Amino acid sequence: MNKRVPAFLILFCMLTANASAMEEHEPHFLFFQADQFEYRAQDGRDSLKWDAQGWYGGDYDKLWLKTEGEKPAGGKTEKAEAQVLFSHLVTDFFDVQAGVRYDPEPHPRRGYAVLGVQGLAPYYFETDAALFLSNEGELSARFEAEYELLLTQRLVLQPSLEINLAAQDTSARGIGSGVSDIELGLRLRYEIRREFAPYIGVNWERKLGQTADIARRDGEDTDVPSFVTGVRFWF
């Protein structure tokens, strides 16, 4: 068993201990947001998708929880992950994040050490980039970006992009080396309140390179468009 993740867990415990020792005068807040909580219509393969994150802390140091996954309608969960991260503000707009990730699905299960950055890029693009090192020594990366275009005070158009990369083949999980997949989304939401906004939109997933070859070999689609409807909420 690769020992790098357990060693990183020790470092993560030290970081979270440091977070708990933050100066008492710094106010702490609790925030949670479900950016995607939606039903995806995919030509007879409908599914439920969630993507949410929350944090507790102050202006400089935070403890994060991130989770996302997908479950076929009427079936068992196919994809699920959870991350626990400690973040520190390094510029006015970006945090450095470090912690752990666990994927209970798909099998075989994986644990990861995580190192990334998250924040607001120029022109108000919200970005999240991370490196993942699994307990089996597999290195991968993910980049996410989204933008909010205010059509009116309540109507918001949100394009989004996600790219996943892998340094080596993990055929047991259907992943090949290189750029493994890309996901594009476009959602139009109406903010009944700032904290609660139903939306509709479209989403497109495409497997690439060796990952696409593995999917074809296993009889899976490499190109998955879908119509989505859901709700975005935060508190």
pLDDT tens digit string along 199-230? 999 999 999 999 999 999 999 999 999 999 99
The first and second tokens of residue 55, run together, are 């944090």
**Which pair of structure tokens corresponds to residue 188?**
């139009």
The pLDDT value given to residue 74: 86
* pLDDT value at residue 123: 94
pTM (predicted TM-score):
0.88
Alpha helices for 170-231 (secondary structure H): 209-217
Q: Which residues pair with 68 in a beta bridge?
A: 51, 81
pLDDT tens digits, one per residue of 26-67: 789 999 999 999 999 998 789 999 999 999 999 999 999 999
For residue 69, CA distances in Å to 51, 56, 79 come to 7, 22, 5
Give the residue-averaged pLDDT of 66-95: 96
pLDDT confidence of residue 24: 53
Nearest Cα neighbor of 139 from 119, 96, 104, 110 is 110
pLDDT at position 45, please?
Answer: 87
Distance CA 209, CA 160 (A): 22
